[in-house]
Amino acid sequence: MFQIFYPTIYQPLYNILIFLYNNFAFHDFGIAIIIITLILKVILMPLSKKQIESQKKLQELQPKIKEIQNKYKDNKEKQSQELMKFYKENKTNPFGGCLPMIIQLIFLIAIYQVFFRISSNNLNVHSEVLYSFVANPGQINNMFIGIIDLAKSSIPLAILAAAAQFYQTKMLMTKQKPVVSNKDGKNPDFSQIMNKQMLYLGPALTLFIGIKFPAGLALYWLVSTLFAIGQQMYLEKDFPFFKKINTAKIVSKK
């Protein structure tokens, strides 16, 4: 697996990062990280868009899904048949968000490996990884905008990344009436319990990683999450600027 991962994902990302550092980031490793993060997010935009839409649709359909599950709770075969029929009628796939998530996770692991390997080598570039046309800058400048040492952990960056993660997760939770697992309305739906737990567990994990690992990873996560928030705002038309654009388009068509 590593024999495929290294030449197809890890090495290209490593070289792109160093190329950006040499030519477009003013020899600021933090700026190079921001640029490569935005490039990756733009490339993966169709996948992340599909993932967001799939998650939102499943959340919107959750009350009906729970109703079917409760109705056929004593007949698992019939329950599966009715659920598949329901998914087909609503043109949705319960696993539709899995593939985009897996692909994005692969890139996250790769970019983490790049950051970690450079940081663990005292920010010295590994010449054996570089392509022949990518110049070796030697030791990377470890200061981001002259303030943040990317070779060390940064608590402020970790907090910002965790806060952005919390906001994004909260955005994904649709505003709907609580779903209950039985008719008396006392037991809350398990999926809603998990959603509430993830609202805090995700940011907590982000904060922990941000504090424990070099700041370059926290910077990548922060920029990536902010991009995702902006993308989701656009998809949901919650951002006033995009609302005006869409309204203008509708008026012009009339």
Residue 251 has what pLDDT? Answer: 43
pLDDT of residue 204: 92
In this structure, what is the dihedral angle of CA atoms 63, 51, 92, 185, given to the nearest 10 degrees?
Answer: -10
Domain encompassing residue 59: 2-253
Amino acid 48: pLDDT: 79
Which tens digits make up the pLDDT trace of 64-114? 888 888 888 888 888 888 888 888 888 787 776 677 678 878 887 888 888
Give pLDDT, residue 105: 80
**Domain count within the chain:** 1
For the entire predicted model, the pTM comes to 0.77
186 CB-contact burial (10 Å; exposed 0-12 / middle 13-18 / buried 19+): exposed
In order of 3, 100, 110, the CA distances from 11 in angstroms are 11, 22, 9
In this structure, the number of other CB atoms found within 10 A of the CB of residue 13 comes to 18
Q: Which pLDDT value is given to residue 250?
A: 40
Structure tokens at 225: 């999450």
Cα dihedral 232, 52, 193, 170 in deg (nearest 10): -10
Q: How far apart are CA 33 and CA 217, in angstroms?
A: 9
Predicted local confidence at residue 125, as pLDDT: 92
Residue ranges of the chain with per-residue pLDDT less than 50? 175-177, 239, 241-254
What pLDDT does residue 247 have? 46
Q: Which residues pair with 124 in a beta bridge?
A: 139
Give the pLDDT of residue 135. 95
- Residue with token string 């967001």: 52
Q: What is the pLDDT of residue 21?
A: 95
